Amino acid sequence: MTERGQGVGHWLLILLALIGLGLFVLPLIGLIARAPLAELGPLLVRDVVGQALGLSLVVSLAALGLALLLGLPLAWVLARFEFPGRRLVRALVTLPMVLPPVVAGVALLTVFGRRGLFGPVLSALGIELAFTTAGAILAATFVAAPFLIVTLEAAFERVDRRLEDAAATIGATRLRILWTVTLPAIRPSLLAGLALCWARALGEFGATITFAGNFPGRTQTMPLAVYEAMQSDPDGALALSLVLLAVSLALLFGLRGQLGRALT
Amino acid sequence: MLRAVLPKPRHLRLAALGLAIGTLLACRSDPRTPVTVFAAASLAESFAALELAFEADHPELDVVVVVGGSQLLATQLIEGARADVFASANPEQVDRVALERELTDRQRFATNRLVVVVRDDGPIHSIEQLAGEGVRVVLAGEAVPAGKYARAALVELGLHAGVMANVVSNELDVRGVIGKLRAGEADAGIAYATDLRGSESVLEAIELAVDVDAHYELAVLADAEQRAAGQAFANFVTSNAGQAILHEHGFVRDPAPQFIYFQF
C-alpha cells in the first residue's frame, strides 16, 4: 500500500480509533452525568471527603519525595555505570510497574509487616508501618517510584556526555555536574517522570489496602474512600470520584506539553 | 527510535496466535445452563458445597457463585448486575435491592454467630482485652453486615467506645478481617463463627455472649434469565439437604425456614 493508499484498512483503523475514543471518554462523561450535582455541596463537605483528600495529598506527595530521593540516584547509577547484573537490576526496578498492586501489598507485608523479615527490627525501633500513614506512603512509593526511575534513566542515557565531560575537566565534582549540567538538561523528563509518579501514587489502591488497611484519616486515601463508598453509597462515591477527576485534570493541565515533550 | 520499539513480525504472529487461542478458550462452550448466585463473603465455602450437591442433582445446570461483601453485591444488583439469586448476610441489603428490583421467594435460610477472632500466639485471650491500650483491632466496615453486627455486639457488651478506639482498619468484607489476622498484622477482630472452620491453625475464636446473631436471607431476582433454575437453587438451600450442608459448615440450624412477606 502506498502513502496515499486508503482501502478497507484505512476505514477499519478510523473505526477502531473512534471506538477507542468512546471507550476512554464515555466513562468520564458518565461520571459527570450521573453525579448528583444538586447534592454535591453537602456530599463534599462531609468529614470523610476532606480527610481522604488531605490524606491523599500527604501520602502522594511524600511518596513523590521518597521516590525522588531514592529513585534519582538509582536511575543515575543504572545509566552511568556498567556492572554485572545491571539488566537484572533494571528489570527488578521496573517490576512494580507490571506487578498487580495487591501482590505488591502482600510482598511488602513479607518484608515490613509485623511478622515480616524486618518486622522485629522495626518494632524494636518503635516504627509501625502496618495500618499507619507511613505504611500507606511506603506502599505508594513502591508502586509509583519505578515510573520516575524509568523516565529518568532513559533521560540520563540521552544526555550529551560531552557536556558532563567538559564540566569534569574544569574540576566539577560528580554531584555538582549532576546538579548544574545533567539535571537542567533533562528538566522536561524530570517533570514528566515526577508527574507520572505522582499520578500513580495518587491512584494507588491495591497495595495500600493490603499493606496499610483502610482507616479514615490514617490510611484511607481517596481511591479507598471511593471504593468503600461505592459499596453502599453510590452517590457519595460519584461525588468523591468527581473530586479525584478534578485533581487529575488539574495535574494534566498544569503539565500540558511537558509530558509530550519528555516522552518523545 | 521507534523501530526498535515495534515488535518484530515474528513476534506479531506469535501474539496473533496467542490471541486466537485465548479467544477459542474463552468461547469453549459449556452445554449446561449457568445459574448466577451472588453470595455474601462468609458463604464462600458453604455455597461451594451447596453448588456441588445441587449440580449433582441437576446435571443440566451450572451454578456460578460470586462471593463478595453483601453491600457490594447489593450495589451491583441495584446497578443492574445479572444474577439469578442473591444470598445476603443481613436483611438490610436485600431491602436495598428490593427498592430497585423485583424479588421473589425471599426467605431466611441461615443464622450465624459472631465470635472474636484472635491469633493463638497473640496477646488477647478475653473480650475485655479488646479495649486494652495498644491492641490492634480489625473490623469489617460499617456498611458491611459483619461490621454492623460487630458494632451492635460491642454496644451490647458496653465495650463499643473502648474497642472502636482500637480499630485500625475497616475491611470491605468479613474475609478481609480474617486475612489481616492471618497475616499477623492485627491482634483481634470480630467475624462469624463459620469463618474459622477448615484448616485453621493460627487463629482461634472467643465466643461472644450476645444476642446479636447474623440472619442470612436469600431472594430470587424476578427478572432473572434463569428464574426457574434460580428458584430451584433457592429451594435446595432451604431444603433439608441444603440446611444439612449449611449446618456442616457451622451455621446454626433455623427452626424452620421463614418466609418473609413483602409489606407494601
Length of chain A measured in residues? 264
A83 C-beta neighbours (distance < 10 Å), count: 8
Predicted confidence (pLDDT) per residue in B204-244, tens digit:
999 888 888 999 999 999 999 999 999 999 999 999 999 99
- Interface pTM (ipTM) of the complex? 0.77
Query: Quick check: A261 pLDDT over 80?
Result: no
Measured N-to-C along each axis, helices A47-80 and A234-254 cross at an angle, to the nearest 10 degrees, of 40
Q: Cα angle vertex A196, ends A194, A199, to 5°?
A: 105
Nearest to A104 by CA among A57, A146, A44, A149: A146
Per-residue pLDDT tens over the stretch B5-50: 555 667 777 777 777 777 767 666 678 899 999 999 999 999 999 9
Alpha-carbon span B159 to B148, nearest angstrom: 15
Residue located via cell numbers 489476622: B181
Cβ-contact B135, B129 below 8 angstroms: yes
CB pairs under 8 A between A and B: 61
Considering only the beta carbons, identify the residue of A113, A214, A220 that sits closest to B185.
A113
Residue B233 and residue B64: Cα distance in Å, rounded? Answer: 11
Question: Minimal Cα–Cα distance from B241 to chain A, Å?
Answer: 33
Q: Does A209 touch chain B (CB under 8 A)?
A: yes
Chain B positions touching A131 (Cβ under 8 A) are 136, 168-169, 185-186
What is the distance, to the nearest Å, from the Cα of residue A96 to the centroid of all Cα atoms in its chain?
11
Residue B15 is predicted with a pLDDT of 74
Query: Least CA distance to A106: which residue of chain B?
Result: B183
Query: Per DSSP, what are the bridge partners of residue B118?
Result: B188, B204
Least confident of A114-123, B80-89, B250-259: B250-259
Instruction: Pick the residue of B169, B174, B187, B202 with the most A CBs within 10 A to test the interface with A by mutation.
Output: B169
pLDDT of residue B89: 96
Nearest to A231 among B169, B172, B180 (CB): B172
Q: Give the containing element (helix H, strand E) for A108.
A: helix A101-112
Alpha-carbon radius of gyration of chain B: 22
The pLDDT of residue B258: 52
Instruction: Report yes or no: A52 and A239 within 8 Å, Cβ to Cβ.
Output: no
With a pLDDT cut of 90, the percent of chain A lying above it is: 58
Q: What pLDDT shows up at residue B1?
A: 38
Please answer yes or no on whether B71 and A218 come within 8 Å at the CB atom.
no
Nearest to A237 by CA among A34, A25, A22: A34
Local structure of residue A125 (DSSP, 8 states): T
Type of residue found at B12:
L
3-class DSSP state of B110: strand
Residue of A nearest to B97 (CA): A232
Closest Cα to residue B186, out of A222, A59, A215? A215
Contacts of A231 (CB under 8 A, 6+ apart): B69, B71, B72, B75, B141, B143, B144, B172
Range 74-133 of A in CB contact (< 8 A) with B: 109, 113-115, 130-131
Per DSSP, the residues of chain B read -HHHHSPPHHHHHHHHHHHHHHHHHHH----SEEEEEEEEGGGHHHHHHHHHHHHHH-TTEEEEEEEE-HHHHHHHHHTT---SEEEESSHHHHHHHHHHS-EEEEEEEEEEEEEEEEETTSS--SGGGGGSTT--EEEE-TTSHHHHHHHHHHHHHT-HHHHHTTEEEEESSHHHHHHHHHTTS-SEEEEEGGGG-SS--SEEEEE---S-EEEEEEEEETT-TTHHHHHHHHHHHHSHHHHHHHHHTTPBPPSSPEE-----
Between chains, do A209 and B172 touch, taking CB under 8 Å as contact?
Answer: yes
- What is the number of other CB atoms lying within 10 angstroms of the CB of residue B59? 9
Contact state of A113 with B172 under an 8 Å Cβ cutoff: no
Q: Do A231 and B141 touch (CB under 8 A)?
A: yes
Write down the pTM of the prediction: 0.83
Gyration radius of chain A over CA positions:
22
Q: What is the pLDDT of residues A205-233, one digit of tens each?
A: 999 999 999 999 999 999 999 999 888 88
Report CB contact under 8 Å: A214, B136.
Answer: no
CA distance A179 to A160: 15
Place B263 in a pLDDT band, splitting at 50, 70 and 90. Answer: very low
Which of A211, A214, A232 to mutate to test binding with chain B, by most B CBs within 10 Å of its CB? A232
Nearest CA among B183, B122, B235 for reference residue A110: B183
Burial class (CB in 10 A: 0-12, 13-18, 19+), A258: middle
Q: Dig out the grid coordinates for A253 from the structure.
A: 493541565
Provide, as residue numbers in chain B, all residues whose Cβ is less than 8 Å from the Cβ of A215. 167-170
Q: Which residues of A touch B186 (CB under 8 A)?
A: 131
Q: How far is B169 from chain A (nearest CA, A)?
A: 5
Please, which residues bridge with residue A107 across strands? none
Measure the CA–CA gap between A135 and A210, rounded to whole angstroms.
Answer: 10
Q: Which of A114, A131, A228 sits opposite B141 (nearest CB)?
A: A228
Q: Mean of the pLDDT values across residues B125-153?
A: 94
Residues sharing a CB contact under 8 Å with residue A151, sequence separation 6 or more, in sequence order? A189, A190, A192, A193, A196, A262
Chain A residues within an 8 Å CB radius of B75: 230-232, 234
Question: Would you call B48 helix, strand, or coil by DSSP?
Answer: helix
A262 neighbourhood in chain B, CB within 8 Å: none
**pLDDT tens, position by position, A4-59:** 667 888 889 999 999 999 999 999 898 888 887 777 777 777 777 888 999 999 99
DSSP run (H or E) holding B36: strand B33-40
Q: Give the integer Cα–Cα distance in Å for A93 and B104.
A: 54
Q: Note the pLDDT of residue A1.
A: 46
Nearest CB to B168: which of A213, A230, A231?
Answer: A213
Distance CA B150, CA A235 (A): 26
